[in-house]
Amino acid sequence: MFKPVKSKVDLVKLENNILEFWKNNKIFQKSLKNREGSKKFIFYEGPPTANAKPGVHHVLARSFKDIFSRYQTMKGYYVPRKGGWDTHGLPVELEIEKKLGVNSKKEIEEIGIKRFSELCKQSVFEYVEDWVKLTDRIGFWLDMSDAYYTFTNNYIETVWWILKQIYDKDLLYEGYKVVTYCPRCGTPLSSHEVAQGYKEVEDPSVYVKFKLKYEDSNFLVWTTTPWTLLSNVALAVNSDEDYVEISKNNEKLILAKTLLNEVIKEPYEIIKKLKGKVLIGKRYEPLFNYTNIKNNCYFVVDANFVSLKEGTGIVHIAPAFGVDDMNLAREKDLPIIQLVDESGEIKSQAVDFAGLFVKEADPKIIKNLKQRKILFKEEKILHSYPHCWRCDTPLLYYARKSWFIATSKIKDKLLKSNSEINWYPDHIKYGRFGNWLENNIDWSLSRERYWGTPLPIWEDNSGHKICIGSFKELKDLAKDFPDKFDPHRPYIDEIKLICPQCKEEMSRVKEVIDCWFDSGSMPYAQLHYPFENYEKFYNNFPADFICEALDQTRGWFYTMMAISTILFEKSSYKNVVCLGLINDKHGRRMSKSRGNTVDPWSVLNKQGADALRWYLFTSSSPWVNKNFDVDIINEIIKKFILTLWNSYSFFVVYANIDKFNPEKYSIKFEERSVLDKWILSELNQTIATVDKSLNNYAATRGGKEIEQFVDKLSNWYIRRSRRRFWKSEEDKDKISAYLTLYECLVTIAKLLAPYMPFISEEIYQNLVFSISKDSLMSVHLADFPVSEEKLIDKDLMEEMNIVRKVVSMGRAARNKASIKVRQPLPYIKVFKTEQTEKLINYEVVIKDELNVKSFELTPDLKQILNYKVKPNLELLGPKYGSKISLIKNILERMNHQEIANIVLANEKVKIKLEEQEEELLPEEILIEIVAPSEHITEKEGEIALTLNTVLSKELLDEGFIRELVRLIQNQRKKAGFRIENTIKTIIECSEDKEVVIKEHKDYLCTETLTTELIFSDKLSGYIEEFNIDKKKVRVGISVSGSIT
């Protein structure tokens, strides 16, 4: 006996029970153990930062990580799944700053780096529990008990080792460069961090006049960052371009010719045209005089980066605040003026603006220029500008000393690594990611912060540097090495080394490193390679599969690949699935400030993890952004999960009534019915498609395939097979139906296991494990189903499609005639064609579905339909004018059948109009299909059929009985009787109906499981009154026994 299954199901409760089962029986561990020693399928967990609660988008990533891992496990691979947590870096520091209510590095240092680091370390555990709970609840099997944490000594030691490799390859260097710098956090950011924070903002757009030194004229210069004007040292033009000098309001201005009309809207007069190169070397008066620098500045230089697409074609150069500017300054030996301090405030030298944050200084500077009448015009511009990805402060391009990895030097290797990766979707490979690599710039590695992996470089006063690659190396060189070693700041800073070259004391540089370097090091650091697990590492590298959201293209996907390329000249992953974003139901990005975030628990506690997972897997391609709406989850439950559940529950209900045990029987495929062969053919086809899809990371495709199969199983196979389960004798056909349905359900459970691990487990448990004690105890320990190609019968499936098509057309015909299906009709005739001739094998199905007495194929189309032709008045009217009524009459009298055939062959129809031969075009004649009298006809494409609608007394009586049976069935249900209960039925009705009922007594009794049928006006039991064909019938039913 199977565990009884109700048609109603509490999915959340079910899932919690399964979680319990997995936990108690260590199924995850068993599923790993099961495959130990098999071929490996390597998965890497991209470590989340657990310093906030996980959201729906995390469920997305974790579900996709899970599905392919489960699938590969079922395919026989050993798939270790080590968890990991990203614990360092600005995101963590920022949370602590918020908690402490501080807002600058100065304040942090007042509190003390020691305390600050401690707090950071504590906070990384704060939400790990939330993450573990969620991970667990959604059924993502991940080994979190053995997770790697990026702050641990072992992890850091590996990272140091990697840095040392890079240092030894001469790819790690310190440079004075313009970096993107967050003035609030007081640190440069790497380009992949900058990439996270572009925002549309309004900035000033000002045109400033720079007066020439020895001429009465002005250079017109455009900028969107007035604060950089304080540090101006030169102007740049493009020497090949055309410039003009114009006169306007008695003032002379120089600017690019092509931009003239863009910039100057008022009347002006062109004084002369001049090439850019004539301007080079011309000197101008500095705008401000806050420095003493006088040499080699305040003149026009040539620069090929000067664009004539916007501005004035004359660019102001402030080497401290632009990459191009800095390069130009190097090239031309221009001085660098730096009037902004590390917190983004104007230095005291610039007395008029001292202490102002640069963006606040903007309006004051504009006002100053205005007063001095050197501001030409002032506008606003809307453009995207980078902001700090965590604290939202506008970033500054700012010249600083900082550490870089020379990734641009290994660009070709990066491109080669990329060429070996399979991207899903594949356009990322040479699109977004490939382009990014093509334009690779050096990795800005250092962060002037506190909580992170310290940069392991020590230097002395003589400029000697040393990069430490292991703790042992550090200990050997250290003056003093503590017993309890913590590589974090501030402790690490206290360790001084003796310079091996000059024996001077060495101190560590103050920087920590980009936390993305930490996570990119996980393939090695999670195993403490090369200090431990040397062999294990090589068996775990590279990953077969990783999966994160699209925003990691330039984050983790990049850092993982960059590091592995430097170390091993190949990518650390072979296949990567990029996931899209999850928006709210209106397509807006979810954000806390908007208040439109969805707490995954609200779905998990109400609709369950399987439904949510199914939505994420099947709603659309994973990389397409999704608009998340909980109503869609409800639809999935109604449409798919419950359909499956009810198919399953149907099986269990009847199998239990019949005490059917699938282990006791076997019936050869050849001996099963057509319907069985058909569904098994569909099943094997589905297995093949799902297997192929999951193997190609196409979960969506596979899911849709399963959905379609379940629909066929429920709405055709089971519907058509119901009676086979109901009949009382235990013949081969019944067993065959049981075996077939059983096989389908068990196979679906296995196909679904990677998608919906809970419900598939529930079904498997009951259908397989509960009856067969030598079976595996979990569906997740099972092998993935293998498609039996020889059972796939394309012809059979096509035939069944036509059967369903004919049935559907037959229903449409009944509908047109408004004759309900319960009312039997004499016959259906189908036009015999190559397509339909096989229908004769499905006579029973068609007759039953359409409730007709006989089925016939006829090659004589006239028996099914006649054509009627009419003139197309819209076209013929204008052509023939008043003669149209004649044409109408002529057509009427001609042979409609023949004309229709001519028109259908798309040929012209000849008619005689007033002794004249006229030709009518095919489109000028309309064809109607007319059914033979007392018939209803349907035609679709090549398929044509007709239903006879003549109702004899016998047929009407049968209709009456079927109506009565249905009503009694409903009555049984309402009365709460069990399906297997037999009943006593008492009927009170008119005499003529009594005769009819007696005639069909056997049918009625069998259908309703009536063991005793009595005609009487003394009703008892559960009583109902019906009105059938305007005749009153009263029925009382009571339980008399049970068939089991």
Partner RNA sequence: GGGCUUAUAGCUCAGUGGGUUAGAGCGCAUCCCUGAUAAGGAUGAGGUCCCUGGUUCGACCCCAGGUAAGCCCA
- The answer to the question of residue 251 lying near RNA (CB under 7 A) is no
Judged by CB under 7 A, the chain residues 90 through 149 that form the site for RNA are none
Give the number of C-alpha atoms closer than 13 A to the C-alpha of residue 322, restricted to the C-beta side.
Answer: 21
Residue nearer to RNA on the CB measure, 191 or 231? 191
Closer to RNA by CB, 61 or 287: give it.
61
Between the alpha carbon of residue 493 and those of residues 337, 478, 489, 949, the distances in Å are 32, 11, 6, 97
Contact status: 722 vs RNA (CB under 7 A): yes
Judging by DSSP bridges, how do beta strands 234-237 and 299-302 pair with one another? parallel
1001 binds RNA (CB under 7 A): no
**Torsion angle of alpha carbons 142, 763, 697, 689, nearest 10°?**
160
Q: Which is nearer to RNA, 99 or 427 (CB)?
A: 427
Specify the amino acid at residue 673: S
- State the number of binding residues for RNA (CB under 7 A): 78
Q: Which of 122, 419, 435, 461 binds RNA (CB under 7 A)?
A: 435
- The burial of 414, by beta-carbon neighbours within 10 Å (0-12 exposed, 13-18 middle, 19 or more buried), is given as buried
Asked if residue 969 binds RNA (CB under 7 A), the reply is yes
**Which listed residue (16, 104, 625, 872) binds RNA by CB under 7 A?**
625
Q: Which is nearer to RNA, 808 or 858 (CB)?
A: 808
- Residue type at position 405: I
User: Would you count residue 225 as binding RNA (CB under 7 A)?
Assistant: no
- By beta-carbon proximity to RNA, the closer residue of 196 and 470 is 196
CB atoms within 10 A of CB 714: 18
Q: Considering only residues 639-678, where is the footprint of RNA by CB under 7 A? A: 639, 642-643, 646-647, 649-650, 653
Identified binder of RNA from the candidate list 18, 96, 195, 356, rule CB under 7 A: 195
CA angle 572, 575, 581 (to 5 degrees): 110
Closest contact distance (angstroms) between CB of 132 and RNA is: 28
Site string for RNA, 391-420 (x = CB under 7 A): ------------------------------
Q: Kindly state whether residue 962 participates in binding RNA, applying the rule CB under 7 A.
A: yes
* The binder of RNA chosen from 277, 411, 966, 984 (CB under 7 A): 966
Q: Measured from the CB of residue 761, what is the shortest distance to RNA in angstroms? A: 19
Q: Does residue 429 interact with RNA by CB under 7 A?
A: no
Closest CA to 457 of 167, 79, 884: 167
Among 53, 822, 847, 853, binds RNA (CB under 7 A): 822
- Using CB under 7 A as the binding rule, whether residue 383 contacts RNA is answered as yes
Does 463 sit near RNA (CB under 7 A)?
Answer: no
Give the separation between CA 916 and CA 886, rounded to whole angstroms.
13
In angstroms, rounded to a whole number, what is the distance separating the alpha carbons of residues 1015 and 1019?
Answer: 9
715 CB-near residues (< 8 Å, 6+ apart):
643
Q: Show contacts with RNA in window 569-598 (CB under 7 A).
A: 581, 587, 589
| Residue 309 lies near RNA (rule: CB under 7 A) | yes
Find out whether 96 and 119 touch, Cβ atoms under 8 Å. Answer: yes
> Near RNA by CB under 7 A, which window of 136-144, 214-222, 606-614, 967-975?
967-975
Interaction with RNA in 493-512: which residues (CB under 7 A)? Answer: none
Q: Tell how strand 143-149 and strand 172-182 pair up.
A: unpaired
The span of 43-51, 339-347, 524-532, 628-636 binding RNA (CB under 7 A) equals 628-636
Query: Exposed, middle or buried by CB within 10 Å (0-12, 13-18, 19+), for 983?
Result: buried
User: 362 or 705: whose CB is closer to RNA?
Assistant: 705
390 counts as binding RNA under rule CB under 7 A = no
Per CB under 7 A, does 46 bind RNA? no
Binding to RNA in span 51-70, by CB under 7 A? none
Element (H, E) at 940: strand 935-940
List 380, 638, 910, 1031, residue binding RNA (CB under 7 A): 638
The yes or no reply on residue 847 touching RNA (CB under 7 A) is: no
Provide the CA 303 distance to its chain's centre, in angstroms.
45
Which x/- pattern over 515-554 shows residues binding RNA (rule: CB under 7 A)?
-----------------------------------xx-xx
| Strand ranges (E), 374-460 | 375-386, 396-405, 422-424, 443-444, 446-447, 457-459
Cα 119 versus chain centre, distance: 36
* Positions in 931-950 near RNA (CB under 7 A): 940-941
Among 354, 415, 657, 812, the residue binding RNA under the rule CB under 7 A is 812
Any contact of residue 626 with RNA (CB under 7 A)?
Answer: yes
Q: Minimum CB separation from RNA for residue 327, in Å?
A: 12
Least distance between RNA and beta carbon 501 (Å): 38
d(CA 517, CA 524): 12
Contact 163, 468 (CB under 8 A): no
Site for RNA in 341-360 (CB under 7 A): none
Nearest C-alpha neighbor of 921 from the set 935, 932, 933, 905: 905
Which residues on neighbouring strands pair with residue 437, listed in sequence order? none
Residue 1024 DSSP SS3 = strand
Are 985 and 1010 in contact by the 8 Å Cβ rule? The answer is yes
For residues 149 and 960, which CB has a smaller minimum distance to RNA in the complex?
960
**Please, what is the minimum distance in Å from the beta carbon of residue 628 to RNA?**
9
